[in-house]
Structure formats: C-alpha cells, structure tokens
A and B are shown apart, each in its own frame.
Chain A
Amino acid sequence: MSRREKKRHKGELPPDRGLPAGARVPFWHSIRSKYALTYLVVIAAVICLLNTYPLLMAQNMVFKSKETALKSQTAAVASALAVSEELTAEGAEQAMLLLEDLSATRILVTNEAGLVLYDSSTREDNLYRYAMLGEIVTALRGNDVFRSEYRDRAFRSRAAVPIVYRGQTIGAVYLYESDAEQAQLLEEIQGNLRYISAVICVAAVVLCVVFSRALTRNVDNLLAAFRQVREGEYSYRVRLRGKDELAMLAGEFNELTGRLQTTEEVRRRFVSDASHELKTPLASIRLLTDSILQSENIDMDTVREFVSDIGEEADRLTRISEKLLTLTRLDARTTVETQRVDVAHVIQRVEHMLFPLARAVEVRLTCHLEEGCAVLATGDDLYQVVFNLVENAIKYNLPGGFVDVKLCKSGDTVILQVCDSGVGIPEDEMDKIFDRFYRVDKARSRAAGGTGLGLSIVRQTARQHGGEVTVARREGGSGTVFTVTFPAFSGEGDAQ
C-alpha cells in the first residue's frame, strides 16, 4: 500500500473518488499527453546524446592526434638540438632553420635554467628572457608534457620535452599549436548535428501528435461506447480495428454489452410475466367479487363457491409471491452459508410431507436412498429442490402412476433422480421448462395450483450449490426423469 493509500485508509486524506462519470479528462492527465510526453522525453534524451557524445568523441580523437603529432615534433626538435653539452642561441637558430614542416604556431627553446635561446614568435622579442611557463619548468625537471584544450573556436595544444644530451638535461623545447581548421570542422559537424536534431525534433513532435492521436482514438471510441451503454443503449456495439489489446477490450466490451442486453431483456420479460401472473388471479378475484356484488338474488351456495374460488386465487397469489421472493433472494445472494447436509434425510422429510398428496391422487411414491450421500449446501434450499421436483412429479401424474426418488453416489458426485410416470414433457419444450413462468400446459398447471416458478427455483438453487439439473423423457413409457447432481462432501460436520 503506498503512503497516500495508507493516509487515505487512516482518514488523513479524502477518499480518491477519481473523475466523476462523464467528466472531461484534464489535459496533463490524459493518456495522449502521457504518451506524447514519454515519446518526446525519449527523443529529447536521444538528441541530447546525439549532440554531446559524438562531439566529445571527436574532440578526444583530435586531442589524441594532436598529442601524437606535437610530441613527435617536439621530439624531433629536441633531437636536432641535442648535439652538444651546452645550448646557445646561435646553435638553436641554426638547428631550427634546418627543420621544416613544423605545424607549430610557436616554438620556444630554453637552456637548463629556462633562459630563452630561440622563440619563433614575431610579436615580441623574448630572447634571453626567462620562460617560467609551467610546461617548460616541468620539462626541465625531466618530464614530457602535453595539454590540449578546445577554446575560442580553436584547438590550442602545448607540448614540452627536455633536451637531453648524454643523460643530462641541457634545455627544453616548447611547442604551441593553434588549429582553427579542425575546430571549424568540428563546429560544422556540431552545426549539422544541431540542424539534424532540429529536424528530428520537428518530425518527432508531428509523429508524436499523429501516433498519440491514433493510439488514443480507440480509447476515446471505447469511452464513448461506455457512455452510450451507461445511458441505457445496450444495443450499442463498438467497432475497433486492429489486433491489439484495445481491440480485445472492445471485443470484451461488446460481449459484456450483449449479455447486459440479454439480461435486460430477460428482466423486462420477467417483470412483464410476473406482472401478468399477478394480474391474472387479481383479475379473477375482481371478477368473482363483482359477480357477488352485482348479483341481487344470488344463492348462498353460489356465493360460497365464488368465495372459495377467491380463496384459491388468493392462495395462488400467495404462492406466486413467495416463490418470487425466493427467486429474488436467490438472485441477490452472492455467498451461500453452507454446511454438511445428509440428502437422504431431506428426501425422507419431503416424502413424509407429500405422502398424503400422493395418496390423494392415487400416485405411488417410493424412495431408494443410498447412505452416506452428503453435500455442502443449505438445508432449506435442498429441501426446496427435492420438494418442488417430487411435488411436480405427483401433480403432473396420472391416477395409478408412480413417483420414484433415487439417491446414489458416483465418485465425487451425489445424484438425485426423480422419475415419474406422468404426462411427460414434449422434447421441444424441455429446455424451456426451467424458464421463469414457463408452463407446458397452462390449464393443467393452473388447475394443479402451479406458479411456473418451481423448476426455475430448482435450477438456480442447484447451480448456486455447485450442482446442475437435467430433464429427460422416461424410457419405457410416458413420464419424465429429473436428475440433479451435486458435488459430494466427504468432510466432517453436523448433518442437517
């Protein structure tokens, strides 16, 4: 956690809410500016390097070449002068006259005490003056000297060597060279590099604007798409060219929007269906009460019959409301507090509860339960699943039929199977029966008190607990087989 985040966590800083939806991104915070800045910083760094390193290298190369040349010349002069024990002005002049092609701007020759015996300078007469130059003193002490610098548009180099005769230092030679030509060359190179750098800078700025715009255009398109969808335009799809991450993001966005659209349509349909289902019993109640109220000479038996029908419709409303509530709770629940549930025990409770109903409609209810089938679930939810399946199997059955409940374990899966000899479900409607309010036979369902929500609850509950429900036609006769699978739980815990 960064320092700012820690401070926010402690409450020392206000929470970072980011930009409000729809707000304009400040210029210096936008991806385009950041990209452009990064690009320009890199280019600037390269240009700085381009304008410094090659010139420094070139300067060093010139210094090295100057050092070689001057040292060679000083050595040649020293060698020409080292012909006797003592250096004189005349001897120095004679020796210098014989030397040609010296590139030095100035040559000084001194004796061992630093007295000038020869000076090529035409500006002043330094003969028999003492040259207390740093280079000459160092050379008279026996060391070769060279130094060069680039200053005032010229390479200014100085070299000095001792004149040694038979191991004795008899004097020193000092050479000074001022080279403006090399300096001019260097300046031309520098000028060209600057010109090239300027062109590169301009090109970089232009390209930077173009590339950043191209890069962020897709981001802007995505942002616009988000805003459209946020306004409720779930049918909006964004089209991005390319195969980069942004194109992938666009693809995911379209997928998400498609699901949002589907969900929205399902929600609308559900609300429409729910409102229709609720309106229907209310309309019946309204009709029945109006009939009672508007009939003047209505007999009591008829009234009783009408009131009984009103009661049934009210019960139906109650059942629909309860099941809607259950579904809503299932929809809203993100975490399920589960525990070890013995499925056989739940089935036995359901059997006990529905046995009277089965007997009343002359349907035989049998259970074949395997021991040790435990799942990690909520007891009430599992009861609801079993109850809905067995109740449907009984209600949509024929007199003399049967409902067979089997429970077994296969590997890591607990399998619950409810098989009935009822009216069956057509093949083309098998995948729709789990949809909310879907009924194969509306009339029969209504007569049986059905709401059209039972199987939706079964599927949603099974999925929430890691299971799945499937439906198939019963082999060898009419009827249906519902199979619910759950992951088996083998751990310890209090069974419900």
Chain B
Amino acid sequence: MSKKNQKSIPPSINQAASTLSFDTLKLFKASRKGGKKPVIDLFIENLTEINKVTLTSSETITGLLGLLGYVSAVEGYFRQIFREIILFDQYARKKCLSHDVSFGAALVVSQKAKAVDSLPEALLENVIFASKKNITEAIKHYLDIKGNLPDELETALKEFEKICQLRHCAVHRYGQFGSQNAIALGFDGHSKKIGFHICLELEDLENIATICLNLVKVVNNFLFNKLLERSAKDLELWKDDYVKDKKLFKKYCAIFKPTNKTIGVTKHYKTLYNQFRNRYA
C-alpha cells in the first residue's frame, strides 16, 4: 500500500460521466407572445398554462414545478410592467436616471438603437421580485412611488411572501423545509416541520395560483392609479376634456388594461376616464 503504482487509476464509486458540450445559443427563439399585449394578459396566459399542467396531475414533483412556475410568472409580470412604466412614465424614468446599468447593456444599446427599450430590463437585472421586501423596495427605488402601501396590497404581498418561502425550499433544497423558512413563516408553529418535504395537494396549488393572481391584480390596479394620480398634478398634461385627453389616457390604459375576458372589467375608456377625473382632478 505504501508504494504508489503510477499506472493505477483512482477508484470510481459510481459510473463514469459522459461528455456533452451544450450549445445555449440555439436555445433562444423570438418571443412566442408577440410584442404588444398588455403585461397582465401575458401573465394570465402564463398562469393558465401552468394550471393546465399542475391542476391535472397528482404527482408531488408537478406540484413543486408548478410552485416555481407560478412565482416565475409573477416575477415576469413585475419585470415587464416595470419596464413599461420606466419607458413611459416621466417620474419613474427620472428616478432611474441615476441608477447604474451594466456596461454590456450600454454597449448593446450603443450599437443597436432598438435595444434601448430593453435597457430598463438591464436595470432590473439584479432585482429579484420573489419576496415582499424586494417588491416593496423596487416600487420605491425604480418607480418613485413613496409612502405606505395600501392595506390591500400589503395583504396580497404578505400572502405572496409565504409562497416565496415555499419557492425557496423548492429551488434550493428540492422541497425540503429549512430553518430560515421556518423563521420567516413563524418559528413557533413551523419549527416542528424543519426537514420535512413540501407536499402540495391540488387545493394548495389552486391557493398558490390564486395568491399570485391576486397579487398581480392588486399591483396592476395600484400602479395604474398611482401613475394617474401623480400625472394629475401636472396641470399641463391633462386638459380636463375626454376628447382632448383620450389619446394620452389610452396610453396609460394600454399598459395596464387587460383584454383577457376572464380578468378584464368591461369598462369603456370614457367610464375609466371619468372615474380618473372624479378621483384625481
């Protein structure tokens, strides 16, 4: 044993691995969703697609994958709505002027003028919209919306935070419940469950989907109202006449107004405009 044999190979405890060089370049295709749909519609499409898979299967793994999918859909919504707002709203854009973007993103924009629309996404590259704290801070930091959040949004975020903790277990521990998650969810009650695996029944998945959908609905209404509220302070912007204001008002609506019949409220632009005028004028 003391004498090393130069020709011998180290013991292999399992089968040898095969070689594969993965070409990531060919993975990316143009967005299947098309360009001009309202952000909330895209979220609904994503959510329903996940539902179709998760709500018809009783496998535990499908539940975990569904959980990741739902949170990912919410994150996607936030990124896109932030992008739209930063590009459209002068207050948000002004706030973002002093924020840094990566050199890579700046370089792409300098070479390709069209890429300027994706600059806000580069700005948000380090932001993770998978916790209540992050979302709250991002709203202030990038959209310049200050003050306490309304109770409805607080409630929706509080519930979403629970989902984010579960997602954390699913992403980092294959569904095993960790002590940090137990602390976040209430240690007294949850400490006994540390080390246990998440098991999501159909009803739980429906509840998770509902919480994610609720959050997006509440945020969508909240941001729409906040943007209009602060725009109303700009006396030059609005003419207090629907005919004259229609064009601008429709631009606000284009960002937030769902066309999807299951989530949309059948309100005409003029009805919405009158509500806006009555409330914020």
A and B assemble together: no
Mark A residues whose CB is within 8 Å of B: none
Which B residues are within 8 Å of any A CB, using their own CB?
A: none
